[in-house]
Amino acid sequence: DIQMTQSPSSLSASIGDRVTITCQASQDILTSLNWHQHKPGKAPRLLIYGASNLETGVPSRFSGSGSGTDFTFTISSLQPEDVATYYCQQSDNLPPTFGGGTKVEIK
C-alpha cells in the first residue's frame, strides 16, 4: 500500500492567516491526490481532486498543488468555518490510502 505522510498533525492559526498543510506519498502518484475536509458530526467533504482542482462550490481560498510525491494544501485566509480536520488521500493505486489528518483550530 502507498503510505501518505501528512504534516503537521495539528495547527492553530488566527483568522485571516495563511495555512499550509503538506502531504508526502511513499511513491510517485502523479497528480492522483485528493483533499477532504471533515467537521465533527458531519459528512466529510471533498475539497480538491487531482491535486489542484477545486470541487464545485468550494470557496476559492482553498487550493492545492504538487505532483509526484510532494503535495501542498493551502487556505489563503483562514475563516472560523474552516475549523476541521483535513485529510489527503491518494487515488493512484488500490487500495486508496489516507494521510493521518491535520486538525486546524483558531488561535
Partner 1 sequence: QVQLQESGPGLVKPSETLSLTCTVSGDSIRSFYWSWIRQPPGRTLEWIGYSSFSGTSNYNPSLASRVAISLDTSKNQFTLRLTSLTSADTAVYYCARGKASPVSWGQGTLVTVSS
Residue 51 neighbours by CB under 8 Å, 6+ apart: 31, 32, 33, 64, 65, 66, 67, 71
Stretch that binds partner 1, among 12-20, 63-71, 76-84, 97-105 (CB under 8 A): 97-105
Stretch that binds partner 1, among 20-28, 59-67, 69-77, 86-94 (CB under 8 A): 86-94
C-alpha cell at 14: 488566527
- Distances in Å between the Cα of 105 and the Cα atoms of 32, 44, 60 are 27, 17, 20
Which of 2, 19, 21, 34 contacts partner 1 by CB under 8 A?
34
Q: Which residues bind partner 1 (CB under 8 A)?
A: 32, 34, 36, 41-46, 49, 55, 87, 89, 91-92, 94-101
